[in-house]
């Protein structure tokens, strides 16, 4: 199956700093990528949908100026958590759709962010 690589898998940062998370589709072109956040013992919460070459669509309650998403190419999307705070500590997961296929979303490995 298709592979989505997410980096880094774990990151610890100081409060007030910014963290960038990368999501790459390794063997297919991802026209659409999704960014999710998952708190302990909870399900995935969609943060935003990004389409290559256009601005991301953010879900209600997600601050677009705090969670910057860039989808500059068909194989790379980045999520930057700006001015991180301890409450931003969470598991962030990206997923990608291949071209026009909607039958399966391929997930990255996830990034465990801890803000201290």
* Binding footprint of other proteins on the chain (CB under 8 A): 1, 6, 34, 41-46, 49, 91, 93, 97, 102-110, 112
Give whichever of 1 and 61 is closer to other proteins, judged by the CB atom.
Answer: 1
Residue 7 CB neighbour total at 10 angstroms:
13
* Minimum CB distance to other proteins, residue 16 (Å): 26
Give whichever of 89 and 109 is closer to other proteins, judged by the CB atom.
Answer: 109
* Minimum CB distance to other proteins, residue 85 (Å): 22
For residue 27, the 8-state DSSP code is S
Residue 22 CB neighbour total at 10 angstroms:
17
87 φ, ψ (degrees, to nearest 5)? -70, -10
Asked if residues 16 and 83 have their Cβ atoms less than 8 Å apart, the reply is yes
* Minimum CB distance to other proteins, residue 81 (Å): 18
What residues pair up with 115 in beta bridges, in sequence order? 13
Give whichever of 34 and 58 is closer to other proteins, judged by the CB atom.
Answer: 34
How far is 48 from 78, CA to CA, in rounded Å?
12
* Minimum CB distance to other proteins, residue 96 (Å): 12
Give whichever of 12 and 17 is closer to other proteins, judged by the CB atom.
Answer: 12
């Amino acid at each position: 199956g298709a592979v989505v690589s997410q980096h880094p898998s774990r990151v610890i940062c100081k409060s007030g700093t910014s963290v960038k998370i990368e999501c790459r589709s390794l063997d297919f072109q991802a026209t659409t990528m999704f960014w999710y956040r998952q708190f302990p013992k909870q399900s995935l919460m969609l943060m935003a949908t990004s389409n290559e070459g256009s601005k991301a669509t953010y879900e209600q309650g997600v601050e677009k100026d705090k969670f910057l998403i860039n989808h500059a190419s068909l194989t790379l999307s980045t999520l930057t958590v700006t001015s991180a705070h301890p409450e931003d500590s969470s598991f962030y997961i990206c997923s990608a759709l291949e071209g026009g296929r909607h039958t399966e979303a391929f997930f990255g490995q996830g990034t465990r962010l801890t803000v201290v």
